[in-house]
Structure 1
């Protein structure tokens, strides 16, 4: 059998054989493995009510050379964005979220969102942005890909692009295999890969295949994607840090909105004509409540 690699998997694999002193440390770390990144071995041992010698034996029993090796692994897991490793026991003590005033939570959230937006948008090179928009406007087809949390971002981008140009697909398609989705990607196409941290292995493989088949690739990601970015023609990096355990995608949504706005300006005549036809079809099909604003103003349902 394959040996477990993550800290919590190693603890679970050895848990039953741990002596009581080491088991207390195991219990602490199973709840909050991310604490290793900020505490020393002695501090963790004290928090678990055990000795530093017991902590040393504990980590060696799990297969680590020393405490520094454990800390490096956990720091990488935090950078990768695992909520398990982003958590901390301090969140549940007297300084926890239940003791924080809502006004301070809002202020902290706003500060982080502003910082994410500022750092993300200021890092975008105007010439790269121009090249991306030109490529998306002139492509035969645009393929937008997203997995897990990136799927919602991919769906938003695909729906906005469809308002301005034809032949924009969202991959992977429901009920299809990836081979069926990727077979027709070619030199005249653009692949937009949205791959925020905790990416699945398919992200790299899809980009490798698209690149081999001659497509241009735009990668929209977070700062952790250094190796994945080497496969892309262009990379737009979005900051996702948050005061909570959950990543923020506000900066990523802003970048997607910026791309769509610039694309519309780039081909305003064609884009406006397409939008006009879409609106005409909405009206013919009676799909949208165009008079909803009257209901809000008067409190009554308007005659249709």
Structure 2
């Protein structure tokens, strides 16, 4: 089976980036800047917008495993359609030619493949850089999620708040976000979660935060939120499963891996905060004691 068969164009570009020529890298960066829309014009338009020649565009398409630019562009159109799919459309797509196996098996197979594909794409150096930013006590951390990803933001915030001070969970109602931005300082970190049908408010918050010198760490999907162009680091997780809904299993895995790494980096402070927190739990009798 072709190893590229299930990869998005963006994933193929990231995999091959180190093997591209200087002109091809220029084209790749331009395509990822406004992905996937940047690749939907004519080959001449794409070349001119990227400042390269049309042969460069055609050559890079072949390096990505396509027969040529038209096939790559067809893939980009398919991806664009996927990023704006609503739950009904997603269900209809998965319902076609459903194999005669139990949903538990189909779902598990999809999640495991999502995990494999995501791990192939994650750059360990980027992962370490994200952990380093989040472990820096001189930086305030601000966390925001969208309609579906709010649970991820809340989970991430709860653990980070135990490990270190200076962590804020941005409220879900965007009409209050200006108040949160007011407290953001240059060098702070905004951790945002945004998967397809990408939310305008997340993009606007990222734009305003970046204008204040805030670094964006973005958890997104395999296609990439529009906010990715503003991010210091984008962590792309596979989300498609046989369901009308997208899966956050791999995103949660990555969140928990980062939490574990930050905990290791900050253990002395984390240990002290955990001890104090346990004392507070005892004082408030929050948890049942069996002895």
Same fold flag (TM > 0.5): yes
TM-score, normalised on structure 2? 0.68
Over aligned residue pairs, what C-alpha RMSD do you find? 2.5
Counting only pairs closer than 5 Å after superposition, residues 6-25 of structure 1 correspond to structure 2 as none
> CA distance change for structure 1 residues 165 and 149 in 2, over 3 Å: closer, same or farther?
same
TM-score, normalised on structure 1? 0.65
Contact 1:74-1:85 within 8 A present in 2 as well:
no
Paired residues in the alignment total 216
Larger Rg: 1
Counterparts of 1:115 and 1:204 in 2: how far apart (Å)?
A: 29
2:89 aligned with 1:85, yes or no? yes
Counterparts of 1:159 and 1:176 in 2: how far apart (Å)?
A: 23
Contact 2:140-2:166 within 8 A present in 1 as well:
yes
Match of 2:234, SS state, is strand
Contact 1:78-1:85 within 8 A present in 2 as well:
no
> CA distance change for structure 1 residues 111 and 209 in 2, over 3 Å: closer, same or farther?
same
> CA distance change for structure 1 residues 273 and 75 in 2, over 3 Å: closer, same or farther?
closer
Deviations 1:122-180 (A, max 9, x none): 32111111111111111431000111001111011001111101121111366962211
Structure 1 residue 288: Cα displacement: 1.1
Structure 1 residue 74: Cα displacement: 7.9
> CA distance change for structure 1 residues 105 and 277 in 2, over 3 Å: closer, same or farther?
same
Counterparts of 2:205 and 2:275 in 1: how far apart (Å)?
A: 35
Counterparts of 2:129 and 2:82 in 1: how far apart (Å)?
A: 34
Equivalence for 2:12:
none
2:224 aligned with 1:225, yes or no? yes
Worse-matched range after superposition: 80-89 or 258-267: 80-89
Structure 1 residue 290: Cα displacement: 3.9
Match of 2:163, SS state, is coil
Structure 1 residue 244: Cα displacement: 1.5
Counterparts of 1:244 and 1:74 in 2: how far apart (Å)?
A: 18
Counterparts of 2:186 and 2:94 in 1: how far apart (Å)?
A: 52
Equivalence for 2:279:
280
Equivalence for 1:56:
none
Structure 1 residue 186: Cα displacement: 1.4
> CA distance change for structure 1 residues 107 and 173 in 2, over 3 Å: closer, same or farther?
closer
